[in-house]
Amino acid sequence: MRPAPQRTPGPRFEDRVKAICLIPGSGEFVYATEPVMRRIGPGQETAENVHAERDRANLLVSLDQLQQDFPNCESVLLVVSWFGDDLRCGECQIRPGVELDEKSTTPVSWRAGGVTRGGAHVVSQFEGAPAYGGTPSDASVLQAIAALKARGYAVSLYPFVLMDVSAGDALPDPYGAAEQAAYPWRGRITPHPAVGQLGAVDKTGAAATQIESFFGAAAPSDFGAGEGVPTYSGPNEWSYRRFVLHHAKLAALAGGVDAFIIGSELRALTTARDSATSFPVVAALRDLASDVLAMLGPSTTLTYAADWSEYGGYRPQDGSGDVLSHLDPLWADDEIDVVGIDWYPPLTDWRDGIGHLDATITKHPHDSAYLESRIEAGENYDWFYASDADRAAQTRTSITDGAHAEPWIYRAKDVRNFWAHPHFDRPAGVRAASPTAWTPESKPVWLIELGCPAIDKGANAPNLFIDAKSAESMLPPFSSGARDDLIQRRTLEAYLRYWDAEGEANPVSSLTGLPMIERAFLWAWDARPHPAFPALSQVWSDGPAWRRGHWLNGRAGLSMLGEVVTDICARADAEDVAASALVGALSGYVVDAPMEARAALEPLMAAYDFGAAEREGAIVFFHADDAAPVDVAISDLTADTVATPLARRSDAADAPIEARVRFIDAARDYLIGGASARRLDRAEVGVISLDAPLVLEAEAAERIAQSVLADRRAAAEALNIALGPAHLALEPGDRITLAGGSDLFEIAAIEDGAERQLDVRRARAAAPTQTQIGDPTAPVSTPAPTPAVSVLNLPPLPKAEGESRPLVAIYASPWRGAHALYAGAALSRRATVAQPAVMGELLWALWPGPVDRWDDGNIIRIKLYGGALASATPDAVLNGDNVFAIEGADGDWEVVQARSCELVAPNEYQLSGFLRGQLGSAPAMREPHPVGARIVKLDARLARAEIGAHEWNEPLAFAAPPANALATDPRAEHLTLTLPHAALRPWAPAHLRARREPSGDVAISWVRCARVGGDAWGPGEPPLGAAPESYVLDILDGADVLKRSVNVTNPAHLYGAADQIADFGAPPVSLRLRVAQMGENGAPGLNKELTITL
């Protein structure tokens, strides 16, 4: 699809991009230019790097797309990752990694860092899959550099450290926590203990010793070449120097590179001191730069990529008053050619609503002028937030420097003054008499990484990202978490326009003649081509992160909503059009037949919630919430209107019952999709149909249907009012309220005469203007299979105690993308499962076992349909690892955990060391779980299903069609289940006891089991989980004959001697007892039944 013609001056965003970072940096053959296949078995192979075009490597397809989407891109920064394994710099090794320790590939085998697969670090597992792709093989890096050069790109090499510290590694944390955070940022590598911790080694010789161990002693002479790739013969170490110098050797074998990055974002290391003003890492980086230069020659540009919070200086928060330009010796070093910065400072401070401070600047966070105005203003420039509470209240503290009028030394965003002025250290707050070695304007600045996530309010914190495995995963402040491609585009466009080499904002050095910001590499372009990435989630586990991440693949070429509207109007010879106020982006819009402009615009108006009106001879397009509604006071109305207002309200039953929207479904290979919204009241009047030839997500299309239905219902109520001379500025399309009320009305027409006659209709609240663009899908060559599906009606799970919806597990191979689950008579969508579940079936029966202690007697074998399992330590199991659900013969699920998961045959595992009947599920093992019973691993691969309140405890039909198929597809898997709402059902009581008293009475007691909040070990009772507390106690004769049933409000009952005689004729020698806690709905929960000898 072609972009709509641009109506604003200057180049399009795509034409401004001159440099880009090429990721992912991990993936054993992700950069190979030849197809690489993995051997599964005799006659079975699967592609390692061919997923978009047959017999053509992914990288080549991706580079084709890069050239097409960013035709003026001149420079590519190739990211290559090794793995750090500890935040304590003295213990940290940096090694090349592989995804699996055993893998056979053809026509080449993996080799990197001077080792083959057996000598490499094996990356950790997360949810049954490698947490990262492996290090790109050395040969594939050389192939990538050659391919980039062949296309005319200036190639830079960026050695990159990923931290492979998994949750539960139990490594001592230099920052004082019980263990190191999972998959942390490399900028947290530090001497141990870190600054601010008890026993911190900062400003001591111990810090220098640890740093020396981290950097190591590898030298350029330790690197040679064999079979076209680097070899190593130096000290037996996996050090930082070995890591960087290895890549320098790779660059040399590639015939050289345009630029080389010696490190990035090592903030906690570069600020580490061995004395008050000595920074040993800075000195080590200078030595390393000298060695790299010796290997690559003076034609290679060298730099270090400092974090945006690191490049300008160090201001320890220790009360010392120190302000030190710690990196200046590096920036001033003759071997360093440019100042490198990874540029992710907060650009905006946007919140929802109109009551926040930035809303006084602009109406929309996507306003280009607003974004540009914040580049050298706002947070970390004019002011900062001293605390989270200040941020919440927007209590801003000004950044000033009263002593020396150099506020820029405290401004992380003030790169201009950093570059243009000499720097004076201030040890203990005292300004030095002489400046540092930095010479103003002596070197240009390169923005080594410049990015923004495609997420709501992404410009508030462009450095943040969503990654389920990482402790660093976080939403930008005040973000809803919704996808927003437009904020990414507008943010990057603002930077590129503002810092344009020929722009007024970018000064030229009087020493070098070069612009201050000489180059900006956008983060990031992926070597995995779109739409294969992110659609093939069975190949790449990070695919779901694309939706809201920093990736540019699949987002270039978007058309702005205003441009599309203007173009449609121009095709109808309507040139006097104002659409610049419209906010939104389209990835595709089809006009495939002659039609009036109004007909072409209506789907857009519904999708993006905007209107149009004629104003001063021009057609003006606007969003409903662009301006606050005007309140019309009673005194503004004519006397007749006040006395007898003319209102028209149609019968609600006359409004349409359903709205249907047809759209282009990116999740189904751009086929036509359908969504609908339906009223649940007595309306009987038919269906509205809307063709929206937009590329959308199904959820977005459903919201359009809801909006259309709401519009029609609102339009059923109208008023005719007459105004006096007030409000002459009102025009059709404006919104009003009456007499300070909350009801909103839209002016449909105005007739001017002696009085202003207004026809107004009730208006619904404005919808969000950012309609979500559809997720991509990769084309498939074979039909998707009928999936295996299980609906798991489980008790509340840890960390999800508030969830009562059942879980859905779906497995299919090959996995062709997200699977939907439908249910009910109308087969409405109830869940979308994005990843295949780890599920299978029992090969050996599992017999009942003990509860609340290890079951070491049972051993079972299972056959997995797909996925992998791993054993866990007892502590890890007790902390929640290896949780499974096993389906019983009666449809109930037992939740179990297993210590040992031993692979005994392909796809077959032997499980033992169980914890049985977890989360109150012990009643599900009344009978042995038979051979063939379904077993499902409980992890994030499962989704929640929507169940209506009236559907619990009633037979409910489910349908799980193949991926991207309709609910009515004949290949769909069908289930009919009766779900008893297990998450709200009280658990069976425990410790049921009965004791005959000397009086002859029998004292019966039990202990309540809490389904929510029952794991606390402190004093006091756990939460009831149902109110009020009550139980039903049944006294039986044998297994079936009920003698007495009593309701009690405490976990005890005294069975009187007289009642015993009445029930049994004589005091019984034993009692069969059954007790259950009553739920909030008045139904008994799970029961405990026991025969007790008195």
pLDDT digits (tens, 9 = 90+) for 888-942: 988 889 999 999 999 999 999 999 999 999 988 888 888 899 999 999 999 999 9
CA distance 140 to 527: 12
CA distance 214 to 159: 16
Of 762, 680, 682, 759, which is closest to residue 723 (Cα–Cα)?
759
Q: Which two tokens stand for residue 876?
A: 């890890």
CA distance 115 to 911: 35
CA distance 468 to 465: 10
**Which residues does 3 contact at the CB level (< 8 Å), separation at least 6?**
12, 557, 558, 559, 563
Q: pLDDT value at position 459? A: 98
Report angle CA 728, 730, 733 to the nearest 5 degrees.
160
Asked if pLDDT for residue 488 goes beyond 80, the answer is yes
Task: For residue 901, list its beta bridge partners.
Answer: 911
Q: pLDDT value at position 430? A: 95
Q: Which of 568-582, 634-648, 667-681, 709-723 has the lowest mean pLDDT?
A: 667-681
CA distance 939 to 489: 34
Using CA atoms, how far residue 781 sits from 414, 665, 669, 778, in Å, is: 53, 18, 12, 10
> 241, 288 in Cβ contact below 8 A?
yes
Asked if pLDDT for residue 1073 goes beyond 80, the answer is yes
Task: For residue 154, list its beta bridge partners.
Answer: 75
Asked if pLDDT for residue 785 goes beyond 80, the answer is no
> 444, 518 in Cβ contact below 8 A?
yes
Q: What is the pLDDT of residues 442-484, one digit of tens each?
A: 999 999 999 999 999 999 999 999 999 999 999 999 999 999 9
Asked if pLDDT for residue 301 goes beyond 70, the answer is yes
Q: What is the pTM of this model?
A: 0.70
> 409, 403 in Cβ contact below 8 A?
no
Q: Which of 552-556, 642-646, 1000-1004 has the lowest mean pLDDT?
A: 642-646
Q: pLDDT value at position 29? A: 98
Of residues 228 and 729, more confidently modeled? 228
Residue recorded with tokens 């320098």 = 248
Q: Where in the chain is the domain with CATH 2.60.40.10?
A: 990-1093
Letter for the amino acid at 42? P
Radius of gyration of the chain (CA): 34
Of 378, 422, 372, 371, which is closest to residue 399 (Cα–Cα)?
378
Alpha helices in 436-586 (DSSP H): 485-498, 532-535, 561-571
Q: pLDDT value at position 654? A: 52
Q: Which two tokens stand for residue 473?
A: 């995963």
Q: Which two tokens stand for residue 682?
A: 């007595």
Report for 131-140, 786-795, 974-983: range of highest mean pLDDT = 131-140
What's 176's DSSP letter? S
CA distance 1031 to 1008: 10
Asked if pLDDT for residue 42 goes beyond 50, the answer is no
Find out whether the peptide bond into 524 is cis, omega within 30 degrees of 0.
Answer: yes
CA distance 421 to 325: 12
CA distance 1026 to 1010: 9
Asked if pLDDT for residue 96 goes beyond 90, the answer is yes
How many CA within 13 A on the CB side of residue 938? Answer: 29
CATH number of this structure's domain 17-548, picked from the four choices 3.30.450.20, 1.10.275.10, 1.20.1250.20, 3.20.20.80: 3.20.20.80
Cβ burial 236-273 (10 Å sphere, 16+ → b, else e): ebbbbbbbbbbbbbbbbbbebbbbbbbbbbbbbbbbbb
Q: pLDDT value at position 778? A: 58
Asked if pLDDT for residue 695 goes beyond 80, the answer is no
Asked if pLDDT for residue 1020 goes beyond 90, the answer is no
Q: What is the pLDDT of residues 16-27, one digit of tens each?
A: 999 999 999 999
Q: Which of 80-84, 130-134, 634-638 has the lowest mean pLDDT?
A: 634-638
- Sheet of 618-623: strands edge to edge? 577-578, 618-623, 610-615
Q: Where in the chain is the domain with CATH 3.20.20.80?
A: 17-548
- Find the mean pLDDT for residues 640-663: 62
The helix (H) or strand (E) run that includes residue 160 is strand 154-163
> 56, 140 in Cβ contact below 8 A?
no
Q: Which two tokens stand for residue 90?
A: 């003295």
- Find the mean pLDDT for residues 625-651: 70
Collapsed DSSP state (helix, strand, coil) of residue 651:
coil
Burial class (CB in 10 A: 0-12, 13-18, 19+), 908: middle
Collapsed DSSP state (helix, strand, coil) of residue 420:
helix
Letter for the amino acid at 338? V
Collapsed DSSP state (helix, strand, coil) of residue 604:
helix
How much of the chain exceeds pLDDT 90, in percent? 64
Residue recorded with tokens 């692979």 = 903
Asked if pLDDT for residue 513 goes beyond 90, the answer is yes
Give the confidence band of 41 by pLDDT, cuts at 50, 70, 90.
very low
Letter for the amino acid at 350? W
Q: Which two tokens stand for residue 881?
A: 């690892």
Q: What is the pLDDT of residues 799-836, one digit of tens each?
A: 888 888 999 999 988 787 899 999 999 999 999 999 99
**Which residues does 197 contact at the CB level (< 8 Å), separation at least 6?**
174, 175, 176
Q: How many helices (H) and strands (E) does the chain have?
A: 19, 56
Collapsed DSSP state (helix, strand, coil) of residue 736:
strand
Q: pLDDT value at position 90? A: 97
Q: Where in the chain is the domain with CATH 2.40.10.170?
A: 788-980
Strand 577-578 to 585-586 pairing: unpaired
Q: Which two tokens stand for residue 372?
A: 């540009």
> 139, 115 in Cβ contact below 8 A?
no
Q: Which two tokens stand for residue 221?
A: 């002479």
Asked if pLDDT for residue 325 goes beyond 50, the answer is yes
Q: Which two tokens stand for residue 453?
A: 């996530």
Q: What is the pLDDT of residues 225-253, one digit of tens each?
A: 999 999 999 999 999 999 999 999 999 99
Q: pLDDT value at position 599? A: 84
- Find the mean pLDDT for residues 118-123: 96
Task: For residue 1073, list its beta bridge partners.
Answer: 1035, 1090
Q: pLDDT value at position 782? A: 46
**Which residues does 60 contact at the CB level (< 8 Å), separation at least 6?**
33, 147
Q: pLDDT value at position 780? A: 43
Give the confidence band of 1026 by pLDDT, cuts at 50, 70, 90.
low
How many residues are listed for the chain in this entry?
A: 1094
> 1026, 1014 in Cβ contact below 8 A?
no
CATH classification code of 990-1093: 2.60.40.10
Q: pLDDT value at position 714? A: 66
The helix (H) or strand (E) run that includes residue 334 is none
Q: pLDDT value at position 723? A: 84
What value does the mean pLDDT of the chain take? 89
Of 535, 545, 449, 483, which is closest to residue 22 (Cα–Cα)?
449
Burial class (CB in 10 A: 0-12, 13-18, 19+), 671: exposed
- Sheet of 828-833: strands edge to edge? 828-833, 819-823, 955-960, 973-978
Q: pLDDT value at position 108? A: 93
Q: Catalogue the E-assigned strands of 392-502.
A: 397-398, 445-450
**Which residues does 302 contact at the CB level (< 8 Å), separation at least 6?**
259, 260, 262, 289, 292, 293, 335, 336, 337
The CATH class, in words, for 788-980 is mainly beta
What's 232's DSSP letter? E
